[in-house]
Amino acid sequence: DTEVTQTPKHLVMGMTNKKSLKCEQHMGHRAMYWYKQKAKKPPELMFVYSYEKLSINESVPSRFSPECPNSSLLNLHLHALQPEDSALYLCASSPHQGLLSGNTIYFGEGSWLTVV
């Protein structure tokens, strides 16, 4: 099973709402990622968790708050978003890094977020 599951697939939220995106994998991967993708642009790295600890934050605004409650789950909490935050949010996972390994990163199908 090489599946990364993201829910919901579509989310519409107002600028004052609080919502969450969820991501789940059961491949035993210990690195999990959030990416943001605007239309016709490549995915942009937002956060990386390694062994349930936040290891990379690409200077993402605090209105995006990631959480990794256990090794299988990754959440992205959303609060006070702006319309320009509307995008496809992608979750991914990969095995623990090995310096000379070529570990594959597996992506989910994404959550389409519209902020109104």
CB 87 within 8 A of CB 63: no
Report if residue 69 touches another protein, rule: CB under 8 A. Answer: no
- In the complex with another protein, which residue's Cβ is closer, 20 or 95? 95
Nearest residue to 89 (alpha-carbon basis) of 109, 116, 111, 74: 111
- Residue 16, Ramachandran bin (φ over 0: left; ψ between -120 and 50: alpha; else beta): alpha
Report the 10 Å Cβ neighbour count for 42: 7
- In the complex with another protein, which residue's Cβ is closer, 45 or 60? 45
Nearest residue to 58 (alpha-carbon basis) of 74, 43, 71, 73: 43
Task: Indicate the burial class of 100 (C-beta count within 10 angstroms; 0-12, 13-18, 19 or more).
Answer: exposed
- In the complex with another protein, which residue's Cβ is closer, 3 or 15? 3
Q: Which stretch binds another protein (CB under 8 A): 16-24, 62-70, 76-84, 95-103?
A: 95-103
- In the complex with another protein, which residue's Cβ is closer, 85 or 111? 111
Q: Which stretch binds another protein (CB under 8 A): 16-24, 60-68, 75-83, 103-111?
A: 103-111
Report if residue 100 touches another protein, rule: CB under 8 A. Answer: yes
Q: Which residues bind another protein (CB under 8 A)?
A: 4, 31, 33, 42-45, 48, 50, 55-56, 88, 90, 92, 94, 97, 99-100, 102, 104-110
